[in-house]
Amino acid sequence: MTTEAISVRWVSLGRLAYDDALAAQQAQSEKLLAGSGDEQTVYAVEHPPTITIGRGGSRDHIVAPPSELERIDMTVREVDRGGDVTYHGPGQFVLYPILHLEPWGNDIGRYVRMLEECAIRVLAEVGITADRMEGFPGVWVGNNKICAIGVRARRRPSGEFVTSHGIALNVTTDLSHFQTIIPCGLADKGVTSVAQELGLTEPFDFAAWEKRMQHAFTDVFNVQLQAAAS
């Protein structure tokens, strides 16, 4: 495990369909798994309305009828990350780190906590006190989740983990869209956003939130970021 800052390629995708971002993740992940590349990469993105169902999820946790999903142009995808059902949409900042984890002790639990720490620091920067909740991955404000986490880890032949998927931070997200699902399968917990916590009405500024997350990610993971063309 190194103590020196390592280089991470940061790719800003902006607003992009879920399938296209997933394809980029998968292509980079396969390179790392096959040993045909070693580049640490992070994708920053915002999605149109999309429901994703993780490996531990169920379509039973989508509670809106198909007609309502069609009305709001909602895409539904089953994906290979951990966790249950979650929502992505406009006003949500999404981060997909495709990393091989030896520089961080090859420790998945530590990696998840580091992602949570990034979100906690970003939220503190705008005046929101958020924290972890024992037994429930993600970042919370009270009983309401403000940042979801869903990660997949696969092993290289060497045993080193390679990550995909990541975190989704609700900034100006339309929280009514979460009513189409039981978020993460937790009927007794709610969701919130930066806009709701602070009473903001400004539109989502992707670049500003990306800059905040870059600073937090640099500090928490001890890396040097290299901007790359999308």
- Binding residue per annotation — 207? no
72 half-sphere exposure, CB direction, 13 A CA radius: 21
Consult the annotation and say whether 82 binds a ligand: yes
User: CB count, 10 Å around CB of 131?
Assistant: 11
53 marked as binding residue: no
Task: Find out whether 88 is annotated in a ligand binding site.
Answer: yes
Residues 165 and 101: their CA atoms lie apart, in Å, by 14
Residue 5 counted as an annotated binding residue: no
User: According to the annotation, is 166 in a ligand binding site?
Assistant: yes
- What's the CA gap between 171 and 194, in Å, rounded? 5
The helix (run of H) or strand (run of E) holding residue 153 is strand 144-155
CA 100/CA 28 separation, integer angstroms: 11
Answer whether 1's CB lies under 8 Å from 220's CB: no
| 124 marked as part of a ligand binding site | no
153 is in an annotated binding site: no
Phi and psi based region of residue 73 (left: phi greater than 0; alpha: psi -120 to 50; beta: remaining): left
94 is in an annotated binding site: no
Catalytic residue, candidates 24, 95, 184, 195: 184
184 is known as an active-site residue: yes
Compute the distance between CA of residue 48 and CA of residue 140 in angstroms, rounded to an integer.
23
User: What residues are labeled active site?
Assistant: 184
Annotated binding site: 81-88, 148-150, 166-168
Annotated binding site for substrate: 81-88, 148-150, 166-168
